[in-house]
Structures are given as structure tokens and as C-alpha cells.
Amino acid sequence: MALLGKQVRQLRSMAHHLDPVISVGKNGITDAVARQTEEELELRELVKVSVQEMSDYSAREAANELAERVGAEVVQVIGRKFSLYRKSSRKDVEHIQLV
């Protein structure tokens, strides 16, 4: 699902206020990081991830690889942080209403 420009802008403004809940460290994008990202996306739909300086990944590389592994869309990459979005399949979470 490709996001429209308006939707990306909406998600970027929402992600601005989030704190990173996932961290990519020196081991890169492990199965544990992918699993944690899956869980957080199911709970929140929009998550912010930080890439530690000791990581071999740039934020853009990590964002693209992690998004591909979990089936999410890259919303924004700034510095060593990036945001991912994926609509949750759960019925008990408050879904983000995209414009």
C-alpha cells in the first residue's frame, strides 16, 4: 500500500511527537528487532525507531530493510531516526484515520 502525499504529511506530523520504541544496534536488524517492530506496529500502527551510532546501518538502509521485513511503509527518515506505518489488523486498537 503506497501512501499518498497528504497521508505521509499527516503521519510525519503525528510521528514528530513520538519517542523511539525500537532500537537498531550493532547487530543490525535481527529477528528479535523485526518481531518487536511487528508487535509495536500491531499495537500503535505508527512507530519511531532509532539507529545507534555503533550500527553498520545508516538510518535510510535500516528503514528500508525493516519496512520490507515487516510489510510497513517508511514515513520519514531524519538523522538517526525513522518512522514506520502499517495498519493494524487488531480490532481492539484505535486505528489512525488517514486523510
pLDDT by residue (tens digit) across 71-95? Answer: 999 999 999 999 999 999 999 988 9
**Is 93 inside any structural domain?**
no
**Is 14 inside any structural domain?**
yes
**Is 94 inside any structural domain?**
no
CATH number where 80 lies = 3.30.110.60
**Is 35 inside any structural domain?**
yes
Give me the number of domains the chain comprises.
Answer: 1
55 φ/ψ sector (left φ>0, alpha ψ -120 to 50, else beta): beta
Q: Is the pLDDT reported for residue 68 higher than 70?
A: yes
**Is 18 inside any structural domain?**
yes
**Is 91 inside any structural domain?**
no
Q: CA–CA separation, 85 vs 73, rounded Å?
A: 5
**Is 69 inside any structural domain?**
yes
What would the mean pLDDT of 59-74 be, rounded to a whole number? 97
57: CB partners within 8 A, 6+ apart: 24, 28, 29, 51, 65
- The strand pair at 73-78 and 46-51 is best described as unpaired
pLDDT at res. 2: 83
- Tens digit of each residue's pLDDT (9 = 90 or more) over 2-45: 889 999 999 999 999 999 999 999 999 999 999 999 999 999 99
- Which range marks the domain in which residue 32 is found? 5-85
Strand partners, 36: none
pLDDT at res. 1: 66
